[in-house]
Amino acid sequence: MFSISRYATGHTDNKSEKIAFLGIEKHSIVSIGSYGQLKNKVNRYYFKEGFDAMMETLEPEVVLVYSKLPEEWKAEYPNTKFVEYQDWASRMRED
Beta bridge partners of 66: 33, 85
In a domain, 46, yes or no: yes
HSE-up (13 A, CA, CB side) for residue 38:
13
What are the tens digits of pLDDT across the range 44-80?
Answer: 999 999 999 999 999 999 999 999 999 999 999 999 9
pLDDT for 17 beyond 80: no
In a domain, 79, yes or no: yes
Let me know: does 61 contact 27? Beta carbons within 8 Å.
yes
In a domain, 2, yes or no: no
Q: Please enumerate in sequence order all residues whose Cβ is within 8 A of that of 94, keeping only pairs 6 or more positions apart, or say none.
A: none
In a domain, 75, yes or no: yes
pLDDT for 19 beyond 70: yes
Which H, E and C letters describe 55-84, residue by residue? HHHHCCCEEEEECCCCHHHHHCCCCCEEEE
CA gap 95, 27 in Å, rounded = 37
In a domain, 12, yes or no: no
Total domain count, the chain? 1
In a domain, 55, yes or no: yes
In a domain, 52, yes or no: yes
* 56: containing domain: 19-94
